[in-house]
Structure 1
């Protein structure tokens, strides 16, 4: 399965797609990136005159790359180009350390902890362009072909 095939199977579209590309993927983990557009809808009002990316959006970016893209890769033998994988987030725990500003590119690194009975649990980290750790946590979900 290729990077383009994984991204094409994502059940998201603009303005709620937070995956630009994948640089590495295997049965053990995945690495991908996204650049937050300066005019994204969620910057209006978060915060007045000092916009930063909301933590819930950073968590969503980590889930889309670190959980959903990895889950699609893990189910590659069961999926086709016409399949719409079903995804449900079951839990997330994230610690935040640094802000992400409009226009910043982030990299998500995810390591599989568990994949059994279509439940995927990952350790996920998000880094800014300088390689600084922005946030980290564990995200779990159910993925079905």
Structure 2
């Protein structure tokens, strides 16, 4: 299953300037997702992070992964129409900078779910290089 940005905005509430998912290229609702974020110099954070050496802030890479991870949960039958919230982040590792021109490929595998709480293993890639990994907990609300 694939989703364009308009379809993604029907699932998650994020909008500019914090919308961090451009498209979903692969998904199994409730289980797995692969999404893309095209990183451009026009992003609102680059003029200040850092002048002369633009680097995507790590916290925004995590936000992009969180948005990606909420999509398969919110696409499952039991959570359609609800909102996903980030409940926790564990075991975060940053391995490489993300800069303008990069295509950030974000993958999330939901490894545990109990009632309205899910845990996913998140990984972000630029080409064949792992740039970030984390365990993320999601809470599905009303």
TM-score of the superposed pair, with normalisation by structure 1: 0.86
Gaps of 5+ in 1: none
Q: Is the 8 A contact 2:8 2:23 kept in 1?
A: no
Report runs of 4+ in structure 1 exceeding 3 Å deviation: 4-7
Gaps of 5+ in 2: none
Other-structure match for 2:87 = 90
1:3 aligns with 2:15: no
CA spacing shift, 1:77–1:125, aligned 2, 3 Å:
same
- The correspondence for 1:126, drawn from 116, 124, 127, is 124
Q: 1:57-110: CA deviations, max 9, x gaps?
A: 000001101x21121122x3552xxx3x22221101221000000131111111
- The correspondence for 2:26, drawn from 24, 27, 50, is 24
- What is the Cα deviation at residue 13 of structure 1? 0.7
TM-score of the superposed pair, with normalisation by structure 2: 0.88
Q: Is the 8 A contact 1:6 1:73 kept in 2?
A: no
Give the total of aligned pairs.
Answer: 138
Other-structure match for 1:41 = 44
Root-mean-square deviation (CA), in Å? 1.8
CA separation in 1, counterparts of 2:107 and 2:86? 18
